[in-house]
């Protein structure tokens, strides 16, 4: 049974993220870098994008910004990067 105030389901030891966020799930992203040597992609950061912020995690660091694009732009000052979206664009304007 899910506790509506926390969205925690004790029976399954899970959290219902959709219930917790009012149905507005964050959009997942990955930021890959490319080696000059062989051009192979390497996962540098992964993160979540909400309506008003993005948080990226990777290799002992955490980045936050208004959007995943801004995090990628910041990393592009040092690395050759590509932003990849793991989820389709939201259908709601709230994300």
- Residues 6+ away with beta carbon under 8 Å from 54: 29, 47, 48, 64, 65, 66, 67, 68, 70, 71
8-state DSSP, 72: H
Q: What are the pLDDT digits (tens) for 14-58?
A: 776 666 666 677 899 999 998 777 778 899 999 999 888 999 999
Say how far apart CA 40 and CA 68 lie, in whole Å.
22
**What's the pLDDT band for 3 if we cut at 50, 70, 90?**
very low
Is pTM beyond 0.85? Reply is: no
Q: What are the pLDDT digits (tens) for 47-87?
A: 999 888 999 999 889 999 999 999 999 999 998 999 999 99
Q: What pLDDT sits at residue 18?
A: 66
- Residues 6+ away with beta carbon under 8 Å from 44: 31, 32, 33, 58, 59, 75, 79, 81
């Amino acid at each position: 049974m899910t506790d509506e105030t926390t969205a925690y389901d004790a029976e399954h030891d899970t959290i219902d993220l959709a219930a917790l966020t009012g149905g507005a799930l964050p959009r997942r992203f990955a930021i890959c870098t490319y080696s000059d040597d062989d051009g192979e992609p390497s996962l540098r950061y992964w993160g979540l994008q909400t309506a008003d912020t993005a948080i990226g995690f990777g290799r002992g660091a955490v980045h936050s910004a208004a959007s995943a694009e801004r995090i990628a732009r910041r990393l592009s000052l040092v690395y050759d990067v590509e932003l990849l979206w793991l989820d389709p664009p939201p259908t709601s304007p709230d994300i």
